[in-house]
Amino acid sequence: MQPSRFDIISCPSDVNVDVEIGSSGTRANWTEPYVIDGNVNLISQTHSPGQRFDAGTTTVTYLFMDGSNSIASCVFHIIGSSGEYVIEYVIFYKNNIISPAS
């Protein structure tokens, strides 16, 4: 594999999406990266705009190759946040303390 001799134009930044708890994921959209060179082809991509993503971080990778077998990559992340949080509580009731089990 040769080092890249071309530049990827418009590789997206990380994409943040809100994922509803209990859902089948949320669709994420981005502008796909591209190269301005007629001799370069997209040879691989791990995900496409419009796909559903669950909570957590997913790495998205695009690989491009030119006629000289030079390869360049565009890597970014889809970060799915569920907004899920834990509520900690202590209730005082008639001098007894009730708290969540540990």
Please, what are the domains in the chain? 15-98 (2.60.40)
Instruction: Provide the residue type at 20 as one letter.
Output: E
DSSP letter, residue 6: S
> For residue 40, which of 76, 74, 64 has the smallest C-alpha distance?
64
The pLDDT assigned to 4 comes to 58
Q: Could you count the other beta carbons within 10 Å of the beta carbon of residue 10?
A: 12
The pLDDT assigned to 34 comes to 86
DSSP letter, residue 21: T
The pLDDT assigned to 93 comes to 55
| pLDDT one digit per residue (tens) for the chain, 102 residues | 555 567 777 899 999 999 988 888 999 999 999 888 778 899 999 999 999 999 999 999 999 998 888 888 999 999 999 876 555 555 555 555 555 554
The pLDDT assigned to 29 comes to 97
The pLDDT assigned to 67 comes to 87
Say what the pTM is: 0.74
User: Residue 57: CB partners within 8 Å, gap ≥ 6?
Assistant: 77, 78, 79, 80
CA-to-CA dists, residue 47 to 65, 71, 75, 76, 84, angstroms: 18, 18, 11, 11, 25
Cα 102 to Cα 99: distance, rounded to the nearest angstrom: 9
